[in-house]
Homo-oligomer: A and B are copies of this chain.
Amino acid sequence: MERVEVHASFGGRQEVWRHESASLGTIQQVGVYLPPQAVQGEKCPALLWLSGLTCNEQNFITKAGAQAIAAELGWILIVPDTSPRGEQVADAEGYDLGQGAGFYVNATQEPWAAHYRMDDYVNIELRELAAANFPVNGHWAISGHSMGGHGALTSALRNPGLYTSASAFSPIVAPSQVPWGQKAFTAYLGDEPAVWAEYDSVELITSGSNPELPLLCDFGDADDFLEVQLQPQRLQEALDRSGRRNARIRLQPGYDHSYYFVSTFFADHLKWHHAQIGAGS
């Protein structure tokens, strides 16, 4: 791994690293925030943050104001790009497919299967890289925004034991049922409903995956994507049917889909993840 950016931030360091990804077959960039505790050699819990459509590793680290609370609570933040990148990587017209729109799945269809293995990348390779290069203490939480909220929820629901807790801002919760998800899943995964269901939060909750996972989701009620793309009521219905105990959905009045929403509630999410470590151990 090669460090390509470093900035002092809230007593710690906001860094960006570049590395060759074995799972993606590309060169990727990753944002890494090391709180003061980590800089001083202490092992810390880590939050994996998954960003939304069109983003790379920069959006969250420059716009979410996340470093303040990460420094206070002593959390490492790991922030990957949203897809494989590079001239050799397949792409498409439009912001919602191809580069910048990996949807955190392992693609099975051409021309995507060669590089679009974001599920393996974030849930296996990136965690191993982080463990080898940064003082992570083994506690992992996961969160994300929009497409990245979908990635966070499905990653944690599919992989019991991997993440202590999962949260999301404005997540796509039923990709099989909404235009963004249907377009991406058709391209990346083909038309096999059983494969789609493995990457669909509502389906995973309905089928009882990882039933003890603590979940927290915030939506803004002024989000332009709420009704067509996000459909939080599908998540609420699935949770109600499932009888999960530690799952909470909140609808925040007046908030939209932007990073102004994420920055307002990020501290609250990280405090919640922090509390889950104590609750689960």
Contact = CB atoms under 8 A, between A and B. Distances in A.
A8 B256 contact: yes
A261 B8 contact: yes
Interface in A53-109: 62-63, 65, 67-68
A14 B258 CA distance: 11
A153 to B, nearest CB: 23
Given A8-B254, A220-B8, A254-B8, A14 B260 contact: yes
A267 B9 CA distance: 13
Contacts of A255: 7-8
Contact of A264 (B8, B261, B264, B267): B8
B261 A7 contact: yes
A179 to B, nearest CB: 24
Contacts of A220: 8
A263 interface: yes
Nearest to A66: B65
Nearest to A71: B264
The interface residues of chain A, by DSSP majority, are classed as mixed
Interface in A242-267: 252-256, 258-261, 263-264, 267
A222 interface: yes
A10 interface: yes
Nearest to A265: B10
A87 to B, nearest CB: 28
Contacts of A253: 8
A39 B63 CA distance: 23
A264 B11 CA distance: 8
Contacts of A14: 260
A58 to B, nearest CB: 11
Interface in A223-281: 252-256, 258-261, 263-264, 267
A23 to B, nearest CB: 30
Contact of A260 (B8, B258, B259, B264): B8
21 contacts: A7-B258, A7-B260, A8-B220, A8-B222, A8-B252, A8-B253, A8-B255, A8-B256, A8-B260, A9-B260, A10-B264, A11-B264, A14-B260, A62-B63, A62-B259, A63-B63, A65-B65, A65-B263, A67-B264, A68-B68, A68-B263
Interface of A: 7-11, 14, 62-63, 65, 67-68, 220, 222, 252-256, 258-261, 263-264, 267
- 4 A-B pairs with the lowest CB-CB distances in the bound complex, closest first: A65-B65, A8-B254, A7-B260, A9-B260
